[in-house]
């Protein structure tokens, strides 16, 4: 049971429905010091939205139904069901074995906002001079991408996102600003946040990363907040209008209000402002991406990935070295969940295992997992599973011989007094080859694109190890390393 804890807290904090089923010591042996005994209910309680250990076999059906109901309704989250060994052998009444098919997907039973909330939000937005929408993961979870795109286009409002909100709007759309905040944001995108006279948060909690520890919006900025969780609006900012409900239903109501008013000709000038922002942002990026320096610059890796990956690829990133570069400089061409990363708690090693889940869920898409060498060491054993299943995933290891995020934090916050952040040079490609993957090791930038192309075309699992510039020496799109 203890091995599953990081996955549960990540799911709960990221608002994803995940059910953990764990075995437990028998009820008859409880308190007699049996091997592996632990109070699972207490252990799982702070990590889950719903949690129980079943004490009787005839309780199993209704407890399973309760778990699904809890984790798929409202703000989705993780659920846990502990099953003692002796309970698993007890009989169950067949007539009680049934399920509610609605809770087989999430969000289940979506709730619309209160009457008048959408109208109040529209009135507030139209009264602003320079509004900015900041979309979070709640937009994607609710399937509200089309409604958001229609709203942004008809009013020409710029739309920024949190990292989890990437895919709320295709990042090549004229109104798409990109990621804002201390991780994956850039000075250019931050200008949009600081200059807005109104910020419209949609399915985002306005936490420390998106707001750079609440540096922006400023306290005087007008706030409209859409969220499924009534605890979120007003938690960090005084909110002029709160719209509580499912994001898809809420934005559909907003568009319906605008339809009734025949509203759609007015423009906030978002596309023009975004075009100028992106011109400056990517000019600086391209200058660094053209470098032939070694170790290979992260920008060069992102540029070559942009030129080799198919538009419908699914990118799975660890939260460290790769995440800010992908969030800042890899514009997702298709709306929806195409970029996956565990930014809620940031456990290392997530992408190697997470990519396997992404492939199972979307086998028609090319899945690429990107991680640092420190992260690779956490879950390298999963390569056996990948090989056994023949999963055609391409893994990319950014090898800089360090726990880069922590080292960069120690440079910025502790005067470069480094402690336990450097790791031994390892031949990651050789390790992966021993598991049965086809591998490449790249040190020369001129060989990078060719190696990536060959790996992506491999009919089976592949890995490319790239000797990469240390993070603390790079121009990383991160304005605050910790907190």
What's 369's domain CATH number? 3.40.50.970
Give the pLDDT mean for 183-208: 97
Q: Give the Cβ contact number of residue 443 at 10 Å.
A: 14
Whether the per-residue pLDDT at 265 is higher than 70: the answer is no
pLDDT tens across 299-341, in order? 999 999 999 999 999 999 999 999 999 999 999 999 999 999 9
Is the pLDDT at 266 greater than 90? The verdict is no
Q: Is residue 281 part of a domain?
A: no
Same domain, 122 and 265: yes
260 and 302 co-located in one domain: no
For residues 85 and 179, membership in a common domain is answered with no
Residue length of the chain: 483
| Mean pLDDT within 456-480 | 96
Looking at the structure, tell me whether residues 375 and 298 fall in a common domain: yes
Final residue before a domain boundary, out of 244, 273, 302:
273
Q: Do residues 378 and 446 make contact, with C-beta atoms less than 8 angstroms apart?
A: no
Rounded CA-CA distance 261/269 in Å is 20
The per-residue pLDDT for 127 is 95
| Nearest CA-CA partner of 474 in 366, 348, 325, 365 | 325
Distance from the Cα of residue 130 to its chain's centroid: 28
pLDDT in tens, 64-84: 999 999 999 999 999 999 999
pLDDT band at 437 (very low <50, low <70, confident <90, very high): very high
* Alpha carbon separation from 221 to 122, 156, 224, 260 (Å, rounded): 17, 20, 10, 28
How many separate domains does the chain show? Answer: 3
In a domain, 282, yes or no: no
What pLDDT, on the 0 to 100 scale, is given for residue 391?
98
Q: Return the bridge partners of 440, or none.
A: 464
Q: Are residues 325 and 453 in the same domain?
A: yes
> Which of 122, 474, 31 lies closest to 285 in space, CA to CA?
474
Residue 180 in any domain: the answer is yes
Boundary residue ending a domain (273, 299, 330): 273
Q: Same structural domain for residues 314 and 212?
A: no
Q: Which domain holds residue 178?
A: 117-273
Rounded to two decimals, the pTM is: 0.96
pLDDT at 483: 61
> 416: how many CB neighbours lie within 10 A of its CB?
11
- Say which residue, 121 or 1, is predicted with more confidence: 121
Among 238, 273, 308, which residue terminates a domain? 273
Please tell me whether residues 85 and 171 are part of one structural domain.
no
Q: What is the reported pLDDT for 123?
A: 96
pLDDT score recorded for residue 344: 87
Q: CATH number, domain at 189?
A: 3.40.50.1220
Q: Calculate the CA 418 to chain-centre distance.
A: 29
Helices 247-260 and 145-155 sit at what angle, rounded to 10 degrees? 30
The answer to whether residues 409 and 481 touch, using CB atoms and an 8 Å cutoff, is yes
Q: Are 303 and 448 in contact (CB under 8 A)?
A: no
Task: Confirm whether 345 is domain-assigned.
Answer: yes
d(CA 447, CA 463): 15
Instruction: List, in sequence order, every residue forming a beta bridge with 439; answer none if it has no partner.
Output: 463
Distance CA 139, CA 135 (A): 7
What mean pLDDT comes out for the span 171-179?
A: 98
| 217 and 365 together in one domain | no
pLDDT tens across 374-430, in order?
999 999 999 999 999 999 999 999 999 999 999 999 999 999 999 999 999 999 999
d(CA 403, CA 418): 11
Residue 13 resides in a domain? yes
Which of 36, 56, 40 is CA-nearest to residue 48?
40
Question: Confidence class of residue 144 from pLDDT cuts 50, 70 and 90?
Answer: very high
The pLDDT, as a whole number, for residue 102 is 98
What is the C-alpha separation between 176 and 274, in angstroms, rounded?
Answer: 7
326 and 464 together in one domain: yes
């Amino acid at each position: 049971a203890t091995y599953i804890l990081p996955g549960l807290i990540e799911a709960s904090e990221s608002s994803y429905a995940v059910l953990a089923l764990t075995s437990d010591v028998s009820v008859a042996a409880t308190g007699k010091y049996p091997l592996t005994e632990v109070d699972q209910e207490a252990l799982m309680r702070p990590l889950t939205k719903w949690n129980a250990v079943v004490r009787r076999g005839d309780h199993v059906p209704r407890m399973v139904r309760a778990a699904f109901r809890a984790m798929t309704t409202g703000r989705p989250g993780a659920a846990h069901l502990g099953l003692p060994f002796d309970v698993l052998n007890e009989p169950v009444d067949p007539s009680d074995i049934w399920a509610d098919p609605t809770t087989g997907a999430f969000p289940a039973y979506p709730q619309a906002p209160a009457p008048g909330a959408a109208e109040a939000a529209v009135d507030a937005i139209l009264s602003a001079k320079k509004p900015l929408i900041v979309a979070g993961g709640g937009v994607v979870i609710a399937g509200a991408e089309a409604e958001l795109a229609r709203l942004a286009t008809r009013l020409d409002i710029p739309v920024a996102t949190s990292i989890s909100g990437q895919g709320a709007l295709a990042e090549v759309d004229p109104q798409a600003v990109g990621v804002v905040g201390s991780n994956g944001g850039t000075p250019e995108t931050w200008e949009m946040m600081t200059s807005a006279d109104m910020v419209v948060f949609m399915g985002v909690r306005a936490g420390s990363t998106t707001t750079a520890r609440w540096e922006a919006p400023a306290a005087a900025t007008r706030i409209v907040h859409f969220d499924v969780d009534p605890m979120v609006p007003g938690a960090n900012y005084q909110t002029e209008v709160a719209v509580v409900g499912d994001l898809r239903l809420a934005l559909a109501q907003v568009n319906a209000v605008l339809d009734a008013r025949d509203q759609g000709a007015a423009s906030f000038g978002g596309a023009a402002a975004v075009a100028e922002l992106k011109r400056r942002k990517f000019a600086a990026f391209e200058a660094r991406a053209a470098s032939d320096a070694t170790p290979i610059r992260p920008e060069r890796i992102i540029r070559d990935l942009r030129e080799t990956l198919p538009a419908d690829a699914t990118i799975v990133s660890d939260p460290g070295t790769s995440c800010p570069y992908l969030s800042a400089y890899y514009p997702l061409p298709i709306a929806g969940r195409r970029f996956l990363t565990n930014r809620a708690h940031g456990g290392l090693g997530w992408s190697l295992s997470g990519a396997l889940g992404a492939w199972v869920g979307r086998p028609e898409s090319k899945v690429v997992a990107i991680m640092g060498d420190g992260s690779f060491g956490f879950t390298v054993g999963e390569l056996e599973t990948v090989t056994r299943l023949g999963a055609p995933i391409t893994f990319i290891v950014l090898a800089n011989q360090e726990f880069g995020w922590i080292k960069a934090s120690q440079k910025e916050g502790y005067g470069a007094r480094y402690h336990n952040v450097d790791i031994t040079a390892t031949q990651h490609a050789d390790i992966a080859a021993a598991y049965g993957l086809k591998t490449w090791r790249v040190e020369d930038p001129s060989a990078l694109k060719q190696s990536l192309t060959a790996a992506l075309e491999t009919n089976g699992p592949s890995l490319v190890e790239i000797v990469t510039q240390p993070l603390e020496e790079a121009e990383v799109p991160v304005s605050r390393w910790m907190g």
